[in-house]
Amino acid sequence: MSVSALAEREDTRTRSGEPVDEIVLNAVVEAAVSGDAAATEWLLTYVRPLVLRYCQARIGGHRTAISVDDVAQEVLLALFRALPGYRNQGRPFLAFVYGIAGHKVADARRNAARVATALSVPEIPDVASQEATPEQHALQFELTSRVEQLLRKVLSPRQHEILVLRLVVGLSAEEVADVMGSTPGAIRVAQHRALTRLRKVVTRP
């Protein structure tokens, strides 16, 4: 069966809510790395919603100074450019994708922080505007940044990443284990401890 036929079959399974078969995904990745245009298009289409959810979780709400769609697009572009040099080193392909996404999110947050610092915020107007101004975007980004800082203060980087991948991106414990080079049991334990820690902080008087 051709790669295109395999990808078409997996499209049907994916729409029905079933995960993509790892063997098929690896075959499509291999074809995309070799320059197959159809395989590349299918691969980028497949990872796009996963990348969007990841970026949304790491960046925050749509009213921040960062555009989730823009960052996700940068991730996909970087992935497209990196495909010819990709080599399977025994880790799942999604680990490679989320590695690129993590770097792009970090870059976007640093750039937005510089913009927010450069903006001076005047007195707050009496009537709120229907359209967010650059100053309001800066304030919202500051609030989002503080939430992110709180999460990073409360959780370890590993716990933070596990919660994002499990609860936001929607990966199974097995899939997260593959991405992070761990075991499903260890992922479940880390997730439980992270949620317990967050619950204690949130409910602290």
How do the domains of the chain map onto residue ranges? Answer: 1-119+132-154, 155-205
147-181 confidence digits (pLDDT tens): 566 677 888 888 988 888 888 788 889 888 888 88
Highest average pLDDT, of 51-65, 89-103, 139-153, comes from 89-103
Highest average pLDDT, of 93-102, 130-139, 141-150, comes from 93-102
11-25 confidence digits (pLDDT tens): 544 544 456 778 888
| Residue range 130-158: mean pLDDT, rounded | 62
Q: What is the pTM of this model?
A: 0.66
Mean pLDDT of the chain: 77
State the pLDDT confidence band at 3, using cuts at 50, 70 and 90.
Answer: low
Q: Is a pLDDT exceeding 60 seen at residue 72?
A: yes
How confident is the model at residue 77, as a pLDDT? 96
Evaluate whether 7 touches 42 at the Cβ level (below 8 Å).
yes
Least confident interval from 6-20, 87-101, 180-194: 6-20
How confident is the model at residue 31, as a pLDDT? 94
The domain defined by 1-119+132-154 carries CATH number 1.10.1740.10: yes
CATH class of 155-205: mainly alpha
State the pLDDT confidence band at 110, using cuts at 50, 70 and 90.
Answer: confident
Residues 143, 134: Cα–Cα separation, whole Å: 14
In Å, what is the CA distance from 96 to each residue of 82, 100, 132, 138? Answer: 10, 7, 35, 31
User: Which is more confident, 149 or 191?
Assistant: 191
Residues 168, 27: Cα–Cα separation, whole Å: 27
> Maximum CA pair distance of the chain?
66
Q: Kindly tell me the burial class for residue 168, based on how many C-beta atoms sit within 10 Å of its own C-beta (0-12, 13-18, 19 or more).
A: middle
